[in-house]
């Protein structure tokens, strides 16, 4: 059983980096693996997968859904708590090189 979760793209990297330890805990507590798409794809989707092959896997559809929902709730809570702020600013053309940096990033 799997569930797709949409998260604002600017939060994906932050959540992933903050959640590396939590991802293992999600699996241990809920039997749910969390997959984020490659950063280069700039996808705002995470895939939650209930592992039916583990020793502690439940056969109950309701139980699987309960675990997927719990992980989804925790990830969304982390997304809301993320300290990421996006702001568009105007920069004089002559300053573009300084703002973009040496690697134009």
More confident residue, 31 or 17: 31
| Residue 43 backbone phi and psi in degrees, to 5 | -85, 145
Query: CB neighbours (10 Å) of residue 38?
Result: 7
**What is the model's pLDDT at position 38?**
65
**What is the model's pLDDT at position 75?**
81
CATH topology of domain 2-100: Ribosomal Protein S8; Chain: A, domain 1 (3.30.1370)
The DSSP line for 70-92 is HHHHHHHHHHHH-----------
**What is the model's pLDDT at position 62?**
94
Question: Is the predicted pLDDT of residue 72 greater than 70, yes or no?
Answer: yes
Domain range annotation of the chain: 2-100
Name the β-bridge partners of 13: none
Sheet hosting strand 45-50, strand order edge to edge:
2-6, 45-50, 32-36
Question: Is the predicted pLDDT of residue 98 greater than 90, yes or no?
Answer: no
Name the nearest CA neighbour of 36 among 60, 66, 7: 7
């Amino acid at each position: 059983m799997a569930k797709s979760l949409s998260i604002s793209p600017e939060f994906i990297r932050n959540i992933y980096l903050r959640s590396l330890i939590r991802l293992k805990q999600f699996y241990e507590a809920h039997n749910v693996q969390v997959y984020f798409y490659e950063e280069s794809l700039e996808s705002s989707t995470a895939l939650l997968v209930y592992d039916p092959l583990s020793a502690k896997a439940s056969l109950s559809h309701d139980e699987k859904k309960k675990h997927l929902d719990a992980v989804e709730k925790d990830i969304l809570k982390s997304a809301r708590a993320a300290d990421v702020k996006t702001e568009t600013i105007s920069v004089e053309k002559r300053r573009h090189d300084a703002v973009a940096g040496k690697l134009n990033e």
